Amino acid sequence: MAIEWLLTTPVLFYAGSRFFRSGYAELRHANPGMNSLVMIGSSAAYFYSVAALLVPGFFPAGTAESYFEAAVIVTLIFLGRYFEHIAKGRTSEAIKKLLQLQAKTARVIRDGEAVEVPIEAVVPDDRIQVRPGERVPVDGVVEEGQSYVDESMISGEPVPVAKQKDAELVGGTINKNGSLTFRATRVGADTVLAQIISMVESAQADKPPIQALADRIAGVFVPVVILLAILTFITWFSFGPAPALSFAFVTTVSVLLIACPCAMGLATPTAIMVGTGKGAEMGVLFRKGAALETLARMDTIVLDKTGTLTRGRPELTDFILVEGREDEVLA
C-alpha cells in the first residue's frame, strides 16, 4: 500500500493538477462540472486511502481498504485526450496540406514593372502576373492572356480548365501552360482557399447536438452526484451503526468514486474527434461538427460533381427510374 501511495501521489497531484485548478474554479463560480467531480472523487479516494494506511484503526472492521487506484481515473482521462489529440492531428494535417496550397509571393505590376512581393502585401485591384507552372496567389479575374488552370483543389477535376479574358481565378490553383495577367478581387482571409481552411478549423470547434446534450447532462449530473454524496453522509452519520462517522465517510467516498469516471463525458468528444479525424484522413472534410451526427441518419447520398451548371446551380439533365412510379420517386 505504501508503494501505491508513492506511485499515486505524482500522478494525481502533478499530472492531474489541471483537474484541481479547473475543478476549484468551477466550484468557486458555483458551476460544478466534470473537473469538479474528478477532483472531489479522486481526492476523496486518495485521502481515504492515506488515512487507511496511517490510521487503520479509525475505520470499521474490513473497511480500511486502499483506493489509490483511483488515480487510474486521471490516467484514463488523459488516455482519452491522447486519442482525441491524435484524431485532431489528422484533421490538422489536412489543414496543413491546404495551407501548403497558398502561394507565398505574388508578381504584382506596379509602375509598369512586375515586382515580386509577399502575399500579405497584395491588395484588391492589384494587377498580377502568373507564369506557367506557378500557383495563382489570390482570387481574381483575368485581364490578359490565355491558359489552362488546374482547379482540382476546388473541383476535384483532373482536367485543366481553359481561362481567358474575364474568367475567374481561384487562389491556390495552378497555371499550366500560358501566361496570365489578372486583377485581384479577393485577398487574405477573403479568398476561397482561406475560407475553406477557416471552415475546417471551425468544424473542429463546433459542437454537434449530441455534444451539447452531453454538456447539459453533465451540468445537471455533477451537482446531483455531489448532492447525493452529501445526503449519503448525513444519512449514515445520523442513522448508521457505530462508528457512524467512519461508515458515513466510507459510503460517501463510494458514491463519489462510482460516479467519477463518467463515460459519457469522456467518450462523446473522443468519438466526435475520431470521426472527423478519420474523415480528414480519407479526404473528407466536415464543414460543421453537426454534419457528422447528421451523416449517421442518412440512407441516401446524391453527389453532383461535374453536372451542368446554370448560374452556379446544379441542373438535373437525366432521370433514370429503376423501379416504382416516377412521380412518387421525384416527390
Which pLDDT score, from 0 to 100, does residue 299 have?
Answer: 86
Mean pLDDT over 60-78 rounds to 72
Residue 160 is given by DSSP the state: P
Backbone angles phi, psi at 73, to 5 degrees: -60, -45
Residue 303: pLDDT over 90: no
How many percent of the chain have pLDDT more than 90? Answer: 17
**Which is catalytic among the residues 215, 299, 304, 318?**
304
| pLDDT > 50? residue 309 | no
Q: Is the pLDDT of residue 87 over 70?
A: no
For residue 175, what pLDDT is reported?
92
Segment 16-41 mean pLDDT: 79
pLDDT band at 6 (very low <50, low <70, confident <90, very high): confident
Residue 243, preceding peptide bond in cis (omega within 30° of 0):
yes
| Residue 304 among the catalytic residues | yes
pLDDT band at 110 (very low <50, low <70, confident <90, very high): confident
Indicate if the pLDDT at residue 311 is higher than 50: no
Query: In terms of pTM, does the model score above 0.85?
Result: no
Structural Rg of the chain based on CA atoms: 30
pLDDT of residue 129: 93
Residue pLDDT, tens place only, 190-220: 888 888 777 777 766 666 676 667 667 767 8
Higher-pLDDT residue of 55 and 183 is 183
Label residues 221-255 b or e (16+ Cβ within 10 Å = b): bbbebbeebeebbeebbeebeeeeebbbbbbbbbb
CATH number of 105-198: 2.70.150.10
Residue indicated by cell numbers 423501379: 323
Give pLDDT, residue 256. 75
Which are the contacts of 180, defined by CB distance < 8 A and separation ≥ 6?
Answer: 129, 130, 142, 144, 145, 146, 147, 163, 169
pLDDT at 127: 93
* Boundaries of every domain in the chain: 2-96+211-293, 105-198
Query: HSE of 240 in the Cβ direction (CA atoms, 13 Å)?
Result: 19
pLDDT of 94 reads 64
236-262 pLDDT tens trace = 989 888 777 777 877 887 787 677 655
pLDDT surpassing 80 at residue 25? yes
- 310, pLDDT greater than 50: no
Per 3-state DSSP, the chain is made up of helix, strand and coil in percentages (nearest 5) of 55, 15, 30
pLDDT digits (tens, 9 = 90+) for 135-164: 999 999 999 999 999 888 777 777 888 999
Task: Give pLDDT, residue 289.
Answer: 64
Name the percent of the chain lying above pLDDT 70. 77
Does residue 130 surpass a pLDDT of 90?
A: yes
CA distance 27 to 169: 54
Position with higher pLDDT, 270 vs 184? 184
